[in-house]
Amino acid sequence: MRTVYRRRLLSCLTFLMIVLSLCWVLLSPVKAQEGLVAAKAPIVVDGREILKVREAGDITAAERAEQINEQLEKAVKSDQDPEIKVEQRNNQPALMLNGRYLMTITAPDVTAPITPQNQADRWVKKLGDAIATARSERSLQYREQAWLITLAVIGAALAIHWLLGRLWKLARRRVLRRLRTSVEPTDNHQGIRLSFRVTLAIARLVLWCSAILYTANLFPLSRQFSYEITAGLRAVFTAPLFTVSNSAFSLVDLLILLALFWALIVGVGTLTQLLQMRILDRTGMARGAQEIVAVIVKYALLVVGTIVLLQVWGLNLSSLTILGSAVGVGIGFGFQDIAKNLGSGLVLLFERSVQVGDFIEVNDHIGLVERVGARSIILRTLDQISVIVPNSRLLEDEVINWSHNRAPSRLHLPVGVAYGSDLNVVKDALLKAADDHTEVVSNPSPRVVFIGFGDSALDFELLIWLRRPERQLFVKSDLLFHIDALLRQKNIEIPFPQRDLHVRSGEIRLSESLEASLLHLVNGKASPASDVSFVSDDKPNSPSV
């Protein structure tokens, strides 16, 4: 459940970053023209930007634009047909709207080589067309057509939304079918699935944003409302938060950088998976060597991609030298365990003392190595439980690697038989049990070693060799079952511990009836392996059992 929630959270964060990225692309102005845009103010009619004016004397550009927009809005709502003329005032062309002063064309409003008079003539035509269009969009016929177009656009967007989901699903199945390997798909194809989810979310987001923007621009009120929201968002997100190397960065810039980093991580992960599954797997390289190449390529691409992203983003890396030194000191003190595990991971990758597929024993855990990462390894125990072991522990503690150099591993099976047994028969039975098992290696051949005389048994050890040490638990069980059956066929006993108990006392005096009862009880229920004696100094001929 935690994995599912984690994936959903990552998907939501990715979707949010994509939305913010699109907002930044749509709303934020080009940085090279920020100074020029800040000095101008737009003239807007029903959410359509007609032209931009600059400050004139003591009046700022924003105050000037506000006055002009108010008069244009009155002209749109008025029943009188708009009439815009150009008059000369103080040797400067001035625009008159229905006989009232609208604005004066000043030198800052003109871009060379156009003269103020030519600029005035152009603006008269633009303003006249804008007012006429705004008045026509308020008619009943236009609104009916706009609603029909809106319903058609929403229906088409819903159909395309469903169609995109089907197409992406089919494409994902086809790609995963081609990339399918013997490894569990959840581990190897997670990056590809996430990439398809992200691209599908981007496609659907672009679809609905386009549909909403298109329908919003059909109606004057919604167009004006969307323009005001856009202007407010642009002011909030593009406001500079801090300055580095004479470059100002806003909130959207930071979010865009995070989104680019996330795209870099997902892209590099997918690329390394494709490299390992489509290229390295066909070269015949060992699985551990494939992991080494994949990890090196992954981190090399991440480092190079990070440097390129920061440079493209506009950050001068030479100015971060002091910050990098401080971060390095902080890592050395606060993240020394992580740094130690990362260093140990590099040593393991190049030394190859522990590789993917090895059967190892570290501390109290024994199992197969599923993955060798930069910080830790994943050990799958015989109980199919994944244990995450830090890399530093593999270098500091003793590690038993049963698969090192892929040589056969020898196992010891202790066996005890009763005293008096035929040792040659015991030896032949043990060797036959080893020869009958298919997983026991014939070269080196199994051997039987006589360890010594134990307290209750003659101690032997059966020495066998295995190619697959991860199967030792099951092989031992099979051999012990078979050994027990063979020894029973040969009438060889496997003894249990025996003890002789002698009770002596000089003061024991028993009556004849009690002695008879005890003798009857002992003869009827006592264990044959027990030897109980009653010795009395007063009665030297007292019975003993």
**Per residue in 246-275, pLDDT tens?**
667 777 778 888 888 888 888 888 888 888
Decide: 58 and 42 in contact? Cβ < 8 Å: no
Bridge partner list, 386? 380
Residue with the larger pLDDT of the pair 2 and 63: 63
Q: Report the pLDDT value the prediction gives residue 149, as an integer from 0 to 100.
A: 93
Q: Report the pLDDT value the prediction gives residue 285, as an integer from 0 to 100.
A: 67
- pLDDT of residue 406 exceeding 50, the answer is yes
Segment 353-358 mean pLDDT: 81
CA 82 – CA 102 distance, rounded (Å): 12
Supply φ then ψ for residue 369, to 5 degrees: -80, 120
List the structure tokens of 448.
């039987």
**Binning pLDDT at 50, 70 and 90, where does residue 160 land?**
very high
Segment 365-386 mean pLDDT: 83
List the structure tokens of 391.
């890399």
Residue with the larger pLDDT of the pair 80 and 339: 80
Q: What number of other Cβ atoms are within 10 A of residue 460's Cβ?
A: 19
- Using one digit for the tens of pLDDT, what is the confidence trace for 24-81? 444 444 343 344 344 688 888 888 888 888 888 788 888 888 888 888 888 888 888 8
Q: Report the pLDDT value the prediction gives residue 162, as an integer from 0 to 100.
A: 94
Q: Which helix (H) or strand (E) holds 164?
A: helix 140-178
Segment 302-317 mean pLDDT: 78
The three-state secondary structure class of 332 is helix
Bridge partner list, 376? 390
CA 253 – CA 530 distance, rounded (Å): 89
Decide: 395 and 341 in contact? Cβ < 8 Å: no
Segment 75-100 mean pLDDT: 85
User: Mean pLDDT over all residues of the chain?
Assistant: 77
CA 187 – CA 493 distance, rounded (Å): 52
Q: Report the pLDDT value the prediction gives residue 395, as an integer from 0 to 100.
A: 82
- pLDDT of residue 334 exceeding 50, the answer is yes
The three-state secondary structure class of 420 is coil
CA angle 243, 244, 247 (to 5 degrees): 70
Q: Report the pLDDT value the prediction gives residue 154, as an integer from 0 to 100.
A: 94
Residue with the larger pLDDT of the pair 333 and 541: 333
- pLDDT of residue 189 exceeding 90, the answer is no
Residue-wise DSSP of 221-283: HHHHHHHHHHHHHHHHHTSEEEEETTEEEEHHHHHHHHHHHHHHHHHHHHHHHHIIIIIGGGT
Q: To the nearest whole percent, how much of the chain has pLDDT over 70?
A: 77
Residue with the larger pLDDT of the pair 497 and 482: 482
Task: State how beta strands 92-97 and 84-89 pair.
Answer: antiparallel
- pLDDT of residue 327 exceeding 80, the answer is no
Q: Report the pLDDT value the prediction gives residue 470, as an integer from 0 to 100.
A: 79
- Using one digit for the tens of pLDDT, what is the confidence trace for 487-532? 999 888 888 776 665 666 555 566 777 777 777 777 765 444 444 4
CA 460 – CA 495 distance, rounded (Å): 13
Among the listed ranges 62-66, 148-152, 231-235, 408-412, which one has the minimum average pLDDT value? 231-235
Q: Report the pLDDT value the prediction gives residue 231, as an integer from 0 to 100.
A: 76
CA 416 – CA 482 distance, rounded (Å): 15
Residue with the larger pLDDT of the pair 404 and 125: 125
Segment 349-360 mean pLDDT: 79
Q: Report the pLDDT value the prediction gives residue 111, as an integer from 0 to 100.
A: 77
Among the listed ranges 21-35, 325-339, 360-374, which one has the minimum average pLDDT value? 21-35
Task: State how beta strands 534-535 and 503-504 pair.
Answer: parallel
- pLDDT of residue 161 exceeding 90, the answer is yes
Ranges 153-162, 237-246, 268-277, most confident: 153-162
Among the listed ranges 10-14, 222-226, 345-349, 527-531, which one has the minimum average pLDDT value? 527-531
Among the listed ranges 276-290, 417-431, 526-540, which one has the minimum average pLDDT value? 526-540
Q: Report the pLDDT value the prediction gives residue 454, as an integer from 0 to 100.
A: 85
